[in-house]
Every structure is written in structure tokens, then in C-alpha cells.
Structure 1
Amino acid sequence: MHWKRYGTIAVALIVLLGGAYAFWLGRQSAELPAGIVSSNGRIEAERIDVAAKLPGRIAEVRVSEGQWVEAGDLVAHMDTAEIDAQLRQAQAAVTQAEQQKLQTEALLNQRLSEQEFAQAEFARAEQLAAKGHVPQELVDQRRATLITADAGVAAARAGIDLATATIASAEATVERLQSIRADAELVAPHRGRVQYVLAKAGEVVGAGGRVVTLTDLTDIYMTIFLPARDAGLLAIGAEARIVLDPIPDYVVPAQVTFVASSAQFTPKSVETADERDQLMFRVKLTIPADLLEEYQQQAKAGVAGVGYVRVDDTVDWPDALQVKLPQ
């Protein structure tokens, strides 16, 4: 029977807390002028995962949670012993191909010299044969020698083309391995604060395995939920205000940058006006980037507060919601 008693107490607490929350919301709404509405929310920031492109072992993690990093800073790097060996092998292949090309070029020069001599000998033999000083057989021999020399030149030129293609292939392999080697250096794609270190040195991660999560403190916003009657009046770009629980004396300016196109909560049937009011739409209030730049050391995600939006731009903000920032 104890569980029944505890259940009754739990239900009573829920009802009590719900009533208190409803009273608080009603009081907040009553204090706001018509045209300005509010809702609870929590500061959020875009997260950026720094992940391994290829599977491998983590050699070192260079950051710790809470650390500020700039774009391009080294966050961690993977073990590269195997890829370094492959890269050295590919670079040696490039050198070998270049030497082969030099040898083929030297061979071509030799074949060109032989061709030139064969041409001269053939021309001389033809002249002498025309005067009857040498037999036709010698002319035929000189012609065969020239044909052989021409073939040698063609083969040497083809060898140069082959050597050039071999160099290009070897250099492409080097570039591919250098790209893989570069991917082993995990760098921050954007400035921000390290939110989580998800892997340690010595761990093996798969392709796409997350190593570090960054918080982009240049894109901070509060998500609130408004009923359909208020969300329907909102325009993208409408002015907003944010008051955070830890610093209730300050009012942070913001802007409506997103209004959901569909309700986040929909009753089973929507037939009356009261039921339509239960439709809640997600709204995003974004803090200006220049303000975040100025207060980047104080900015952090997860802080709860209240978001205020102006659904009627002809209404002035009350004194309590005039922008007020820490000095």
C-alpha cells in the first residue's frame, strides 16, 4: 500500500508545481504589454565535431575540455607510421622514374646521332651507286641501317613518354598519400571552446570517429516555444530580448531567426480555439555575432532564462526590457 501513498503524493506535487508554474506564467504575461510575449528557454550553441577521416590509432590529443581554440589549431593527430613509410616509398618511386627519364633522354640523343650518321651513309651510298662506284647491295644495307636507326629514335621517344607518365603517376601517389597524411592532423575547423574530449591517446577510432567536440560561440541562440496565436504573428528578423537566470539584471538583445513551419506538439484532434492554442511552435532567438565577439569569454551554452519577442513592432519595449549589458 506504500506505493499507492507515494503515488498520491507524487501526483499532488505535480499538480502543485504545475499550478505554481501556470501562476508564474500568468503573472509574467500580465506584466508584459500587449504585443510582447515570453517563454522559458535555454542558451544553445552550434556544436562542431572534429572526427577522424580514416580509421587509425590516436597518437596525441592536444586540447582539454574548456580550452579555447582558433580555426586551424591542432586538436589531435593520428598515428602516421604506416602512411609515412608509404609516402617515403612513393617519393622514392618518383626519383626512380625521374632517373629513368634521364636515361631514356640520353638514349634518345644516342639514337638521334646514329640516325644522323645512317642518313649520311645512305645518302653517300646512293650517290656512289648512281655513278656506278658501289654495288646496289651496299645501298640496300645502308637503307636497312637507316630504317633501324629511325626505329631506335621512335622507341627512345616512346620511352620518354612512358617515363613522363610514370613520373606523373608516382607524383599523384605522393599527393594522395600527402593528403592522407594531412588528414591525420585533426585541426579545428572553426574557432570555439572545447566542449568534450571524446577519445584519448592510444585509442583506435573508425572512419568518422569523433575525437573532440567544439562549441561555436559565434552562433549562440535561445530556443523557446510559443503558442500558435503568437507564433503566427512573428516575422523573421523581429526584435527579441533574453534575460538569463544567473544575470537577471541584464537584458541581452536578440533577433528571431527561425520559426518552425509545423507545431512541435499537436493534440489528437484540433477542433476548438482553445485546442489550437495548445499548438506550440519552436522559435529561435539568435544573439548578434558582434556582441558574442565582445563577450566570448562569458558566453556559454546551457544557461536557462526567459526569451521575450515582440509580435507587434509598433509596441515599445518596457523599461525592464531595455538592453542592458555588463560593462
Structure 2
Amino acid sequence: MSPRLRIAAIALVVLAGAGAWLWLGRDTGELHYTGFVEGEERIVRAEVAGRVLEVPFAEGAVVPAGAVVARLDDADVAARIESKRRELGVLEAQIARQREQVALTESTWRRDVAAREAELRQAEAQSRLAAVTHGRQSKLAAEGVASPQRLDEARSSRDAAQSAVERARDVLARARAMEGEIAVAKSQLAVLEEQLALARAQLGELEVLRAKYTVRAPATDSVVQAQLVWPGELAQPGTPLVSVLDPLDKYVQIYVPVADADRVRVGTRVAIELDSAPGRRVPGEVSFVADQANFTPEKIETRSDRLGQVYRAKVRILEDVEQFQPGTEGNVYLSGDGVETARR
């Protein structure tokens, strides 16, 4: 091999080694990104249509969990609730009267049926006795011992007793037939009770609707970032009312080059440092990575074009969240092995 070729070969080996060192160094070295601290914004929206009456909290105010952040005019639904309550009162009074009437009618009917049954039993007993007497008189008359007059009297008593039984049975049947009227009264009571149940359900729905006119903050303390409506304005369902930030849910938004995308994934642990407190790091975790690159050229023709793309990512702050104010600059560090330990 000529000296010139040997020098070229040595140069290639050196360049290859340097390139490998740089590549491995990037894979195993600490990655550093800079971004801005942001809060997780939550938009509180109207669920119903109504004119805005009040927005109690100004921008920057701390809002306790569940506090009222806006009131809408609920006069219409309030009137409907009052009307429904009056309807409930009328139905409840009707049901009370109907129940009383049903109970009284049923009690009277039971006593009447019991009395008619007792009368029938007495008539049947008298009829049996009259039949026995008539049979005995018939036998005596056949033997010539009893007079025909006594036999006629016994026959008349028997027939009268049997007629009394028939009348008692008819009276009892009519008394028992009154049960149908009681059944009708009970069915009317059931209809009223169904109407009452429906009215109560409708009242419950109206009260749930009315509660939506009082708009409340999320279930955690928050800070008003922006007031989006003002008293007198008309809100529609979905209208943004206020924007709030959770003071304990903050993140640093960064942009990750394509070359680092395989190392920055959701769940990756990192360290975060404020520019205002250099050297003091707190733990963080990648909570979001965009599925598409940003700043993509219209036409990608070369490898350098592809490497110029970046992915938007969010790094959630896990400790000392209150020390990180939205808008301040933060630094995110990722160690070579993908696990970062915070340095205090």
C-alpha cells in the first residue's frame, strides 16, 4: 500500500472513531431542554343558557374547591319549580282525601258484609228449623195425630223461612258487589299516586337544572387566570365563563428534536431546574409527547430537513410545585440512562 493510501485509511479510521464517540456520547450523555412553566388550564363552561348575573372572583384570585365562579339568571326555572311545587301540594291533598275515602268506604263495606253474612246464617238456621218442624207435622198428620191446620202452619213457616233465606242471599250479594266500587276508588288513588311520583321526578329534574345556573369551580383549589364573560352578557351551553389554573398541577413545555424522540417518552423521569435557582433540581415526569412533529417543512427532501423537526412535550413538576410560577423559564435534564435523580 502506498504512503498516500495508508494516510487516507488512517484518517478514515480516526473520523469513524470520532463519529462513533460523538454518537455514543449523545446516547449516553445528559440531555438538556429549556422551556416555560405553565399551569394546566381548565375552562369552566356554562351548561345552560342564561344571562350572567355575577362573576364573584377577579383574575388572579384563589378559588376554593367547589366555590361559585358564576351565577346565571334562573328566574324562569325558579318559576317552573314554584309551579311544580304547587301542583305537588294539590296532588298530595287529593291523595290524602282519596285515601281517607277509600279507607272509610272499605271499613263500612266490611262491616256491612259481615252483618249481611250473619243475617244469612240466621235465616238459614231458621229455614232448617222450619223444615224439620214441617217434616214432623207431615208425619203426624199422616198418622192422624196432627190436625191439617198445624200442617198448614208448618208449611207456611217453612216457605216463609226459605223466602227469608233467598232475601238474605240477595242482600249479601248486593253488599259484596260494592267491592267493585272500592276497587275503582283504589285504582283512582293509584292514578293520583302515579301523577304524584311523576311530578316529584319532574321537580327533581328542575332542581338539578336550577343548580346548573350556579356554576362552581373544579373539585380542587384553583386560581382564576381569566374572566371570559361579564354580568349582563348572555351565556349559551358551552360558553366559556372563566379560565382557572390548578396551582399544584404545573408543567414545563419543551420541544424535543427528532434525534432525541426515542429517549423522551411518556413516563420518562427527568430533573427540572429554574433559571432563578440554578443547581437546585426537582423531579419531573414526561406526561405528554405529541404524536406529530412540529415545524415540519412543506417538502422534506433531505435528512437535515427531518432532523430539523421537533416534538412538543410536557414535563409535569412532581415536587415543590408552588415554587414554579407560570411564565418563568425552566430547564429540563435527562440523564443518559433515562433516569434522572434530583439534586438538592
Smaller-chain TM-score bracket: 0.7 to 0.9
- 1:227 aligns with 257
The AA in structure 2 aligned to 1:89 is S
Q: Does 1:95 align with 2:89?
A: yes
| Alignment size in residue pairs | 281
Unmatched runs of 5 consecutive residues or more in structure 2: 1-25, 128-159
Question: 1:72 is matched with which residue: 66, 69, 73?
Answer: 66
Distance 1:60 1:271, change over 3 A: closer
8 Å contact from structure 2 (residues 120, 165) kept in 1:
no
Give the partner amino acid of 1:234. V
Asked if structure 1 preserves the Cα contact closer than 8 Å seen for 2:35 and 2:253, the reply is yes
Q: Counterpart in 2 of 1:285?
A: 315
Cα RMSD (Å): 2.8
Distance in 2 (alpha carbons) for counterparts of 1:110 and 1:216:
64
Could you tell me which amino acid in structure 2 is paired with residue 256 of structure 1?
V
Partner AA of 1:160 in structure 2: L
Distance, in Å, in 2 between the alignment partners of 1:135 and 1:234 is 103
Q: 8 Å contact 2:287–2:315 — kept in the other structure? A: yes
Q: In the alignment, what sits opposite 1:56?
A: 50
Distance in 2, matches of 1:261 and 1:147, equals 80
Amino acid at match of 1:180: L
- The Cα of 1:283 is off from its aligned counterpart by 2.5
Larger Rg over CA atoms: 2
Note the alpha carbon deviations across 1:106-130, whole angstroms, 9 max, x for none.
Answer: 1111211232133134324533554
| Separation (CA, whole Å) in 1 of partners of 2:336 and 2:308 | 18
Question: Is the CA contact 1:101–1:160 (under 8 Å) kept in the aligned structure 2?
Answer: yes
Quick one: which amino acid aligns to residue 263 of structure 1? A
What is residue 198 of structure 1 aligned with on the other side?
228
User: Of the candidates 128, 133, 139, which is equivalent to residue 169 of structure 2?
Assistant: 139
Alignment of 1:1-327 (within 5 A): 35-127=29-121, 130=124, 131=127, 132-133=160-161, 134=164, 136-137=166-167, 139-148=169-178, 150-189=179-218, 190-245=220-275, 247=276, 249=278, 251-253=280-282, 254-267=284-297, 273-288=303-318, 290-292=319-321, 295=322, 298-313=323-338, 323=343
CA positional deviation for 1:185: 1.2
Between the aligned partners of 1:165 and 1:197, the Cα distance in structure 2 is: 46
Structure 1 residues 195-247: Cα deviation after superposition (integer angstroms, max 9, x where no partner): 011111121111121111101222211121122222212354434333445x2
TM-score w.r.t. the length of structure 1 is 0.75
Q: Percent identity?
A: 26
Task: Give the conservation status (yes or no) of the 8 Å contact 1:239–1:310.
Answer: no
Please state how far the C-alpha of 1:47 moved relative to its aligned partner: 1.1
Contact 1:224/1:283 (<8 A) preserved: yes
User: Once the 2 structures are TM-superposed, how far is the Cα of residue 187 of structure 1 from its aligned partner?
Assistant: 1.0
AA paired with 1:220?
K
In structure 1, stretches of 5+ residues that fail to align are 1-31
Looking at structure 1, the residues matched to 299 and 76 of structure 2 have their Cα atoms a distance apart, in angstroms, of: 62
Using the alignment, how far apart are the partners of 2:56 and 2:187 within structure 1? 52
In structure 2, relative to structure 1, the CA distance for the partners of 1:311 and 1:192 (3 Å cut) is farther
Structure 1 distance, partners of 2:215, 2:81, is: 19
Per-residue deviation, 1:171: 1.4
CA apart distance, 1:269: 6.0
- The 2-side partners of 1:76 and 1:269 are apart by 49
SS at match of 1:59: strand
Identify if the C-alpha distance between structure 1 residues 299 and 65 changes in structure 2 by more than 3 Å, giving closer, same or farther: farther
Deviations 1:70-96 (A, max 9, x none): 211111211122222211222222222
Relative to the length of structure 2, the TM-score reads: 0.72
Contact 2:44–2:243 (Cα < 8 Å) also in 1: yes
Give yes or no for contact 1:238–1:310 (8 Å, CA) kept in 2: no
Deviation at 1:102, TM superposition (A): 1.2
The alpha-carbon deviation at position 284 of structure 1 amounts to 1.9
Check conservation: 2:265, 2:286, Cα contact below 8 A.
Answer: yes
